[in-house]
Amino acid sequence: MALISETLNKIRTANNKIEIANLLNKTSGVPGMATITQILAEIYKKPMVPITPVQRNALNLVEQFASRYGVIRFINLQRTRVAIQLIARVLNSALINQGSFGMCGPAAVAVDAAANLPVQYVTFAIDLAENGTGTLGHRIITPVASILHYKLDETKGMPQADWIVLASLRDDPTNLQESFATETYGGTAGSELFAWMVKSGFQKVLHMSHITFANMVEAHPLGLLPPGITVGDKMKTLTTAAELTSSGWRLFMQAFMQLAKSIESYKQIEDMETMLPPGSLNETRTKQSNALNVENPGYFGTVFGAVKSVMGFSGGDVKHWTFVETLTINKLANTITISCCNHGMHYPAVTLPLDGFANKFLGFVAVTDYA
């Protein structure tokens, strides 16, 4: 991690918002209040770093938060360290990271909020930090004392700003014990995420899932269901998800963890292929394709996957939520191209085999028309 002073110098030569956000995200230490103002001043005077009016409003709120005195309600976290991380997330929402905690559902929601509703996102985080309660849309959230008092270890991948937002969104005190593996704190069912988004203020919300013994279709309002949907028709559900993203809906995809791992691996393969001879990574591609086509666990295997998660293992049969920007299906080529955010990273336009993707796909919650 870089020191604050080093980061400030690098910001002066940075060329875009993503680069600046990554620099801020990698800083160590606790900056002074004046440093936050310095950082924002450097960002604002860069013509090649376009800050939208909404983002600027959000950043101004963060600066005001950093300038105030007093210990925040999350007693083991630091006000200005939270502030510098919030700035990074307004600039690049993909940085939001659940770390080693099983909070992929809240992480997907937070990525969407920071990208599309940055003022609401930072207001939520700041209100939680200063008052111990916050509102996201129409959802009022007051995390329990064990979340406020948790001794977060940032070396396990979750920054302070993300703990405030994600742990509060999940707010599950029964599993928050330091004697448990961190993966036990989390786990969001599709019906839960559906209810969250309705309560948050989205006028149209659709949930479709294909988990053994738990196939489900939910719609808000009730008449929203797409025509021709059949419970159990996973490819039709996947096609519906792709069509919704092309129509501007925001999508939260649930799949077995192997799909998230394969998206990362296929992205690495695509990056490496630009530097290596054609065909040199065919064997690696085949291995990834085979991993996607491995038979999924049945009902009891899915339950066992959840048990393994409690024990501290995070295998490919654990269910996982991903915030999806776009899905494009090419049935002729048997491929699907996804742009998404996962574990603090942005994966733009990664192409995977359609049949393998569909095999690990479990369902989605899609939303539009926020009010």
The rounded percent of the chain whose pLDDT value lies above 90 is 64
pLDDT one-digit tens code per residue, 17-57: 999 999 999 988 899 999 999 999 999 988 778 899 999 99
pLDDT of 310 above 50: no
DSSP β-bridge partners for residue 2: 27
User: Is the pLDDT score of 279 beyond 50?
Assistant: yes
- pLDDT single digits (tens) 214-262: 578 899 998 887 666 666 678 888 999 999 999 999 999 999 999 999 9
Average pLDDT, the chain: 87
Please count the other Cβ atoms lying within 10 Å of the Cβ belonging to residue 302. Answer: 20
The span from the CA of 272 to the CA of 241, in Å, is: 29
The string of pLDDT tens digits covering residues 82-119 is 999 999 999 999 999 998 888 899 999 999 999 999 99
pLDDT in tens, 160-213: 999 999 999 986 545 454 433 454 445 788 999 999 999 989 999 999 998 755
H/E stretch holding 325: strand 319-330
CA distances from 198 to 117, 272, 323, 365 (A): 16, 42, 17, 11
Are 315 and 257 in contact by the 8 Å Cβ rule? The answer is: yes
Judge whether 158 and 98 are in contact, CB under 8 Å: yes
User: Which among 296, 275, 295, 272 has a CA at the least distance from the CA of 285?
Assistant: 272
288 and 360 Cβ atoms separated by less than 8 Å:
no
Tokens of 45: 């005077």
Q: Are 109 and 190 in contact (CB under 8 A)?
A: no
User: Tens digits of per-residue pLDDT, 349-370?
Assistant: 999 999 999 999 999 999 999 8
In this prediction, residue 157 carries a pLDDT of 87
State pTM to two decimals.
0.89
Q: Which contacts qualify for 265-270: CB closer than 8 Å, 24 or more apart? A: 266/350, 266/351, 266/352, 267/347, 267/350, 270/350, 270/351
Task: Read off the amino acid at residue 306.
Answer: A
Type and span of the H or E element at 177: none
109-164: pLDDT as tens digits: 999 999 999 999 999 999 999 999 999 988 899 998 889 999 999 988 899 999 99
Cα distance between residue 283 and residue 314, in whole Å: 25
pLDDT of amino acid 183: 46
d(CA 325, CA 242): 10
* Joined tokens for residue 234: 């996973």
